[in-house]
Structure 1
Amino acid sequence: MKLHGSMEIKNDELYIGGVNCLDMVKEYKTPLYVFDEQLIRDNCREYRKYFKAEENGNRVAYAGKAFLPGYMCRLIKEEKMCLDVVSGGELYTAHKSGFPMENIFFHGNNKTREEVEMGVEYGVGKFVVDNFYELDLLEEICEREDKVQEIYFRITPGIEAHTHEYIKTGQIDSKFGFALVNGDLYNAIEKLKEYKRVKLVGLHAHIGSQIFELEPFLDEVDVMMKLVKEIKENYGIELTDVDLGGGVGVYYTEEDKPRAIKDFCEAIIDRAEKTCAELGMEVPHLVIEPGRSVIANAGSTLYTIGSIKDIKDVRVYVSVDGGMTDNIRPSLYHAGYECSIVNKMNGDTENRVTIAGKCCESGDILINNVAISEIESGDILITTSTGAYGYSMASNYNKIQKPAVIAVKNGEITPVCRRQTFEDVLALEL
């Protein structure tokens, strides 16, 4: 198992942020999400530094769908990041946490009337408009509220990224954005002539998630810059911003070969400068929206081993007290993870087992056929890189409570989310 951030081994036991994982479990029980706060902050600072946030006025917007309790809103505010939200719930969380609304980008392919009204009322910085329905709705609400709203148009640039089928978003066959090839973007720009309450200031595209190659991002830069020039020449609209979305791949297992934040940012900046020079235009302010690459490796999940079922000549099932309710990604995407026993970190990894969850589903398998040290019931197992889309996609399937969340740094524990009780699970039932 690869160690991330502040992870270290002392006396055969795993520590994160200077805290023994066994001590975390004694106080907060399992399953338990653990976040390495220093690693999160380091990632934010690297993005801002290498994307030239201060130097060029570019912006880095954390993609909140990856993980967004109030704690995270406050942290990224302290790190001078912007925020990408995709729902009224995420926007409300940011609002309640005191996050500056002018630094929010409001996404979503089907924002409801209530969500658009909320965004306008709160003073969201940019609406990323996805379709004609939203454009009409936004104009109507801004007219009523006597406001002018800055917007980006989200486009589908027709770029195929090498990633999972469910997380491709830049190709023509996508539920997101205005397509280029069928003329939707140009029809939307023409439609702006009818409106007085929306102001187009930028373009947005997002080509997918968990992408390791640089080439799709560089192709995206070329497409977007050419569009900026074309829109100015053909429609007289000077776009100041280009938002390139997120999607940077991260490490989950040895098969993954992620790019360093520095390499990714520098490649984007260099390509934008080169392409704009060739087109004879100023480089717009650039925006990127990392989520997974900020938070994934900073998060881990601790479980207690329960039953161990050895089916001779077939496999050994090792069951934990969590599963698809706290990490749906293996069942949804066949996503891979690494694991270890936190109280046996230096043990020989000669055993082959399958880590199973406790849900009443055959597909509730966290890790298939993994090499691990000798396991006993009561041992504490860790799966790493669960910071993105673990807690945010957690459910109460089988009436299982959502785990607690803590952050660790310099030997201190910060509670982030308390564990649900059975009363919490039933709280909405009448």
Structure 2
Amino acid sequence: MRIPPGVYRVSRPIVMRPYVSVEGDGMKSVIQKTTRAPGPSLRRSLPHRDAVDEYDVDCILAVDRPDTDLKFSHDVHIQGIRLRGLAHRTGQSVDRNAYGLYAPRLLRSQLDEVSVADVRAGFHFREIIVSQLDGCWATRAEIGFDLPDLETGGGTSLTMANCYASEVDRWGYYLRGLSYSTLVGCACDHANKEGSGGGYFLGVCHGVTITSCGCEATTAPVLRAKHSELVVSGLKTFGIRGTDARSAYVEVEASTVQFTGCRLPGLQDPGQTRNGRYEQGADVTYVNGEQPSGGAPALVDERSSVVCIGERAAESPDATVADATVRADKIGFEAPETTLTPDGVHVDGNAVLRERQPPIGEIVDACGGSASRRIEPVQSGADAATINDNFATLCRQLERIRALLGEDGHGLTEDRTSDS
């Protein structure tokens, strides 16, 4: 279906079916809703699941699933249209429609250059699989891209490329239950105006990559991850503002996140905002980039770890121990500690690994003979020599252990006893 250039005013939501393509002329093809009236009283149950999708909601464009034997709306293609809510006409945020695009369950679908303005949630999905959003834009909303339904939804194989959330009161991207998916070249500007959101939220997301995305002129946090595994590569921020002690530049809870080649310049007007909050078993690695700074020291709880590799290399080959200490202080972590566990070395705080690292401390027993150790400043060259001697001794012991275990590395003998 072709939508020529023009402004098309509607008082009720437009409901489209699966296997349909809608194409407009970009920003010139506008669908303007003039009321907050809901859609038709349609209830679509899910096969073999105790869930129902309701369509009597206040939206501008809805994608129906008329065949309840199918879980998804298949092969929907929407390109080059602009959806505007009632608030565009009144100028009052209280008049925002609930949703711009309301598409509960999509499969093998594509949205290209679709823009939404003046609604509460720009793009709303409950489940979206093997689909792509390219060049989509949500502005003047509470949430730009909304995938909130963890109980009956989520998504897999979703690609969001060059999408943009701007002028949002809460979150630019609010994604839950997403797996093996990617965000590429996406942006989020002027988000979190109410102080209850941020740039990117990912909850219970597994195998998700965020590549070459950005966030500007936004109130922290830039990223909040909860119960997720993420790889963040090439993230760049600018003009991130602080608020109070409850927020942080980056917030990670019970998640594994690797930041590679990211540049996160210092907070502006930080207030009491922390550089980071890493809690409930967060496992975070910063590799070859610039980690959050400019705010209060990051909080790393006793179950979490933050490791920095290639961070803030020494300014010159003649750097002193004092210089290294100053740089570590500037990074802004509280009470860095290391703990030896059966799984290896656990780092609470910040570990800086460089090609050439001046001696930073001696290992002292701080817990009455337990496995926990604390890093203390080196007081003399003799202390450094002692550390090096101890390290050499440890290496020799490891070689002996390796020899005892054998070439295969595990030292176990296969049990060839037959079950008969």
The interval holding the TM-score normalised by the smaller chain is: under 0.3
| Structure having the higher Rg | 2
TM-score, length basis structure 2: 0.23
Structure having greater relative contact order (Cα 8 Å, sep ≥ 6): 1
Q: TM-score, normalised by structure 1?
A: 0.23
Which of the pair is proportionally richer in helix? 1
